[in-house]
Amino acid sequence: MATEQQTKTGDGEDQQPLGLTVASAAVAAAVIVPLLWLVKSALDVGFSEAVALVTRPTTVEVFLNSTVLVVLVTAACVALGVPLAYLTVRTDLPFKRFWTIIIALPLVIPSYIGAFAFVSAFGPRGVFQRLLEPLGVESLPEIYGLPGAVLVLTLYTYPYVFITTRAALKSMDTTLIDAARTLNHTRWEAFKRVTIPQIRPAVAAGALLAALYALSDFGTPAIMKFDAFTRVIYVEFGSFGRDTATLLSLQLVAVTLLILTLESQIRGDERTTTGGRSGSVMRLGRWKYPAIGFAALVAAVALVVPLGILLTWFAEGVAETSQSLAFQPEYAFNSVLVAAATAGAATVAGLPVAYLAARHPSRVSSVFERSTYVGYAVPGVVLGLALVFFGSSYATPIYQTLYLLVFAYVIRFLPQAVGSLRASFLRVDPALPEAARTLGETPSGAFRHVTLPLVAPGLFGGAALVFLTTMKELPATLLLRPAGFKTLVTHIWTAYAAGYFGQAAVPALILLFVSGLSMLVIITQEGYDVK
């Protein structure tokens, strides 16, 4: 593995520090252990049936479908996320801060709402077709199937790549580029030879999140009628084929491990860099307007379509319905509460794992880091059931309490914190805390006073990502929430499932608003950046 190569830190005591290793191991174990339930239930299926199931043609087809979906979504996310990040960090794009927020904002929209909106808008006889009808447009190109699934998943996951790449670009040392330019490299060559290697780990980290999201998302393939793994698992669960579903989930975990391995290849030759000095900015010149147009187009497609549909629902309102659908502010409070708790817990749990992986790369630290990703790629309903089993069997006091719910979220979203923390640690020059040590700081003092402030943007960015995605999570919430505990998404689900779209609009809009605010937090926290 490429990560095995030791990063030179010049620090005498960097043989796997014991405390840190134990802490990472504990986090990794906590995240993995509930998933052993999958193994247990898969063993219940029986060998011959298991083999028959895994090798049957539909399973193979589903496997191929999922692969194609993940590859296309990941490629498209990189193709959108990296240029947009570059535009908003390294060029003189006007209103950069505005564009940064707008471009990151699609992340606040749950992909199932996005998928639904696109189907309503562009499906046969959807809103769009009806608008165009007077112009003689009889039908629109088919949105269902692979194209629709790729489109929607890309639009709502490219911000992962955008955000991680941005963070890397921001803390990158631009004097290197200037140096390359003085050596007569063209801009493109300078980008290729200096920038790309420096941002590659961050791009890979973002792409990994996007890929695993695409693999585990249920809503989009279901709404787009595309047979990915998750849809088949859902159908099995829905017909009481619980054992078969868990077996398929194990297959999904295997695919996840494959993706994790692939990513560590791509991540490649990592280097810790000196803290960034962001100096010169690329002038766009006459490319300014195409650049704005590109950013505006992506944001408009991703944001305007679902917002438009939600507002339509809102306007069509609120037919007379059961009063239990009346919205209560408490739901928003509950969402924020669990999301904030999860963001905090995931950051704390992620710190030792990320630090160990970045500073003391070895097979062991990499295994710990990678294992935090497994829960992220398991569909929410599978993870939910695994925790139902563990909670009701071994942790009855916290079963169906907020503690177990937050634990579930941490398992699910920890990699978002780990990924961005690890990328941040990699960008801190080890010479800096070392200098603090020579000035008399203790190791933990050096960490707190030197390293931590330097990684603060990554830390807040990761926490905000976890916050956002927790706000949107549905399947595990439904299985694990305490009785009577309602959040924005459970309310949206309740209203939507009953067909009362009007009632789903209000909480959905509030969800977007609150998540949008946390996006603002990410952007302001970037002020923390090293100047």
| Residues at the contact surface with other proteins, assessed by CB under 8 A | 58, 124-125, 222-223, 225, 232, 234-242, 319-326, 381, 385, 388-389, 392-393, 396, 399-400, 478-479, 483-484, 494-495, 497-500, 503
- Tell me how far, at minimum, the Cβ of 109 lies from other proteins, in Å: 19
Smallest distance from other proteins to CB 512, Å: 22
Question: How buried is 344 (Cβ within 10 angstroms: 0-12 exposed, 13-18 middle, 19+ buried)?
Answer: middle
CB of 225 to other proteins, least distance (A): 6
Residue 80 tokens read as 């959108």
Characterise 184 by phi-psi region: left (phi > 0), alpha (psi -120 to 50), beta (else): left
Q: Distance (Å, rounded) from C-alpha 44 to C-alpha 395?
A: 23
The torsion angle over the Cα atoms of residues 182, 183, 188 and 189, rounded to 10 degrees, is: -160
Q: Rounded to whole angstroms, how far apart are CA atoms 283 and 281?
A: 6
Provide the Cα torsion 264, 268, 273, 278; round to 10°. Answer: -90
> Could you tell me the smallest distance in angstroms from the CB atom of residue 37 to other proteins?
8
Within its chain, how far is the Cα of 86 from the centroid? 20
Which amino acid is present at 244? T
Cβ atoms < 10 Å from Cβ of 402: 16
Residue 291 or 479: which CB sits closer to other proteins?
Answer: 479
Q: Please, which residue, 358 or 381, has the CB nearer to other proteins? A: 381
Contacting residues for 524 by C-beta, under 8 A, at least 6 apart: none
Least separation, in Å, of the C-beta of 144 and other proteins?
9
Minimum Å distance from CB 498 to other proteins? 4
Q: Cα 387–392–396 angle (5° rounding)?
A: 115
| Minimum distance from residue 469 beta carbon to other proteins (Å) | 21
With respect to other proteins, which residue has the nearer C-beta, 324 or 438?
Answer: 324
Nearer to other proteins, 46 or 124 (CB): 124
Cβ distance to other proteins smaller for residue 159 or 221: 221
Find the shortest distance in angstroms from Cβ 371 to other proteins: 23
CB distance 59 to 254 below 8 Å: no
Nearer to other proteins, 279 or 499 (CB): 499
CA gap 425, 273 in Å, rounded: 10
Q: Is 250 exposed, middle or buried (0-12, 13-18, 19+ CB in 10 A)?
A: buried
Residue number with CB closer to other proteins (8 or 225) = 225
The rounded distance, in Å, linking the Cα atoms of 388 and 37 is: 10
Q: How far is the CB of 488 from other proteins (least distance, A)?
A: 14
Handedness of CA 291, 294, 297, 301 (dihedral sign): negative
Nearer to other proteins, 161 or 385 (CB): 385
Q: Please, which residue, 65 or 503, has the CB nearer to other proteins?
A: 503
Please state, in angstroms and rounded to a whole number, the distance separating the CA atoms of residues 403 and 99: 37
Residue 272 three-state SS: coil
Residue closer to other proteins by CB (options 83, 241) is 241
Of the CA atoms within 13 Å of residue 431, those in its CB half-sphere come to 5
What is the DSSP secondary structure assignment for residue 449, as one 8-state letter?
I
C-beta closer to other proteins: residue 201 or 502? 502
Number of neighbouring beta carbons within 10 Å of residue 83: 16
Residues 6+ apart with CB under 8 A from 517: none
Cα distance between residue 357 and residue 420, in whole Å = 12
By C-beta, is 18 or 483 nearer to other proteins? 483
Look-up: residue for tokens 């319905």?
A: 321
CB of 305 to other proteins, least distance (A): 19
CB of 385 to other proteins, least distance (A): 5
Shortest distance (Å) from residue 112 CB to other proteins:
11
Q: What is the rounded distance in angstroms from the CA atom of residue 96 to the CA atom of residue 90?
A: 10
